[in-house]
Amino acid sequence: MDFGTNFHASLNNHPGQVLVRSGQPGTDLSYSGNALNSRTERDPLPGEDPVPSVPQPSELRTKGFPLPRRSRVGLAYDIVTGNVGTG
């Protein structure tokens, strides 16, 4: 969701605009679900002979992260006004 506002004004009989916009406010995102489930085999300790093992159920844990927030400001000022290119 984005929100913003436009401000229209006139300076020396030339129109101008100011735009302020902010976007992507919200809560943190995090991953979850069956895609994070797996089966993990036990690695032997250093110096230990490999031992056959049954893969154990495991789940990857993820940490929430914030969405990037964006704010923008735009300025516009018409230097030339009137009927341009008519003739």
Answer yes or no: is 16 within a domain. yes
Paired tokens of 77:
């000022």
The dihedral region occupied by 32, where left means phi > 0, alpha psi between -120 and 50, and beta the remainder, is beta
Average pLDDT over every residue of 19-24: 83
Identify the pLDDT of residue 84: 54
Answer yes or no: is 54 within a domain. yes
Answer yes or no: is 86 within a domain. no
Average pLDDT over every residue of 4-29: 82
What's the rounded Cα separation, in Å, for the pair 20 and 22?
A: 7
Domain range enclosing 13: 2-77
For residue range 24-65, what is the model confidence (pLDDT) as tens digits?
767 788 888 888 898 888 777 888 887 777 788 888 888 888
Answer yes or no: is 85 within a domain. no
Q: Say if residues 3 and 22 touch (Cβ distance below 8 Å).
A: yes
pLDDT band at 83 (very low <50, low <70, confident <90, very high): low
What's the rounded Cα separation, in Å, for the pair 12 and 82?
A: 14
Answer yes or no: is 7 within a domain. yes
Answer yes or no: is 84 within a domain. no
Identify the pLDDT of residue 1: 64
Closest CA to 81 of 28, 22, 14, 31: 14
Paired tokens of 13:
């009989």
Identify the pLDDT of residue 81: 63
- Count: domains in the chain: 1
Answer yes or no: is 27 within a domain. yes
**Taking the model in full, what pTM does it have?**
0.41
Answer yes or no: is 83 within a domain. no
